[in-house]
Structure 1
Amino acid sequence: MTQHSTETPQFFLTAPSPCPYLPGQMERKVFTHLVGEKASALNEILTQGGFRRSQNIAYRPACEACKACVSVRVPVDQFVTTRSFRRVLDKNVDLIGTRVDAAPTSEQYSLFRAYLDARHSQGGMADMTVLDYAMMVEDTHVDTMLVEYRFRGPDTAITGQGDGPLIATALTDLLSDGLSMVYSFYEPGYTDRSLGTLMILDHIRRARKMGLPYVYLGYWVEGSKKMAYKARFRPQQHLGPRGWEPAA
């Protein structure tokens, strides 16, 4: 069994592989393991420095010929809810998100599987099994949670929880300065509801309510249609050579 130091993180570089966002480009990543008692603290420092988390690994792009991946975060107190965003909220007024422990369920995996099959059947996660999903959710040493979205029921006003089938789910890390959205998925049959947008709006609301200044959205990649939606959440900050700065 490979042992990883919990005191001083070691960083590794992946071999070049085809970029999933920009055709014709090759990607490399630098990564380290998030293990031990200091995993949450390290994850926080690295997230603030432009890394993303996948299970017990934190990574960021380290491409030699391309700097297109830009870390994005939304300052929640400055965020502007546009008319378009208000329409999304109005469409989904019958849904409610509930925070639950990061524990995988068969219902979550069924939704996750339907989402991948409909939206990312050729992606790198397409072959994930139920065990892979369970590892993604619970194989971590950091402070994380799930937010499950369901339709409101007759007892929602009392319990604060939804009723009926699972509609969407977000895996989210809790940081001292914000919420970092690790991965989200939703029922592909509800395309008219813009559920991906809804979950980001809900996380902005949650962060504001929790007194946290930022929601971390991961990477925006100029020229990638897959990542174009992130540019809509403004104002936002981008991580550059001088640190986090307002996006142009």
Structure 2
Amino acid sequence: MSNLKTLVFFATPAHDCSYLPGRAATTMFVDPRARVDKHLYSQLTTLGFRRSGHNYYRPHCETCNACVPVRLNVHHLQPDRNQRRVWRKNQDLTCTLVPAAYSDEYYALYERYIEQRHDDGDMFPPSREQFTSFLVDGATDTWFLEMRLHGALVGLAVVDELDDGLSAIYTVFDPDMEQRSLGTFAVLWQAEEIRRRGATYLYLGYWIAECRKMNYKTRFQPLESLIKGRWRVQ
């Protein structure tokens, strides 16, 4: 099994940034041949890495540090009035954690979400292969949070187990259910699950101040950011 001392990292050539138009980006990847268990994955996450399928990566740009890893200490989380309203509104949902796997039901929801909410992004057009390689392949201690209303699947959140909590990988929801704010609800539900487990952190990936689609992350307070190798409250 690999460890931090034996890992080999690779950097990509400069490529177009997915978040900031007109900028170039470089990404650092863990050697895909490395055997990454839950403990090593947890260590990498505290260093700012994320998982996408089989790949563990983090931004490695020479002249830009816009991508800031962020996390929540769920024991300090203070939901605002809107978040409390979202929590109450969705108490009629049935939420269940199930092992990550492909199903036509999951893909149909994913496809609708990408086509109607992210038709201008890198993940458009969606495909079954994309869904599997992004959300199922390489899964280590990974779960799908099903959100169902009267039996119908209306939301799906992908979460990874870590030594100190959970990592929120991706969330999709029925575009017709936008008024329920299921993305916000999924974060609040995961925070509750972490508390139930006696763990501490919910890792939310990267926050970019100039990226409007990431503004929702700053609504969860107090939010911790990884800056110059140290986690600090924003």
TM-score category, normalised to shorter length: over 0.9
Q: How does 1:126-205 map to 2 (within 5 A)?
A: 126-140=124-138, 142-151=140-149, 163-205=150-192
Q: How does 1:33-72 map to 2 (within 5 A)?
A: 33=31, 38-72=36-70
Comparing 174-183 with 236-245, which one deviates more in the overlay? 236-245
Structure 2: 5+ residue stretches without partners:
none
- 2:31 and 2:182 mapped to 1: Cα distance? 31
Q: How does 1:18-33 map to 2 (within 5 A)?
A: 18-33=16-31
AA at the equivalent of 1:13: A
TM-score, scaled relative to structure 2: 0.93
Equivalent residues of 1:68, 1:221 under 8 A apart: yes
Q: Over aligned residues, Cα RMSD in angstroms?
A: 1.7
Comparing 81-90 with 38-47, which one deviates more in the overlay? 38-47
**1:108–1:33 CA distance, 2 compared to 1 (3 A):** farther
- 2:31 and 2:186 mapped to 1: Cα distance? 28
- 2:19 and 2:133 mapped to 1: Cα distance? 25
AA at the equivalent of 2:17: C
AA at the equivalent of 1:200: V
Equivalent residues of 1:37, 1:141 under 8 A apart: no
Equivalent residues of 1:35, 1:56 under 8 A apart: no
**1:19–1:33 CA distance, 2 compared to 1 (3 A):** same
- 1:63 and 1:137 mapped to 2: Cα distance? 25
SS at match of 2:13: coil
Equivalent residues of 1:16, 1:28 under 8 A apart: yes
AA at the equivalent of 1:164: G
Shift of 1:35: 5.6
Shift of 1:38: 3.8
Shift of 1:218: 0.3
TM-score, scaled relative to structure 1: 0.88
Equivalent residues of 1:35, 1:141 under 8 A apart: no
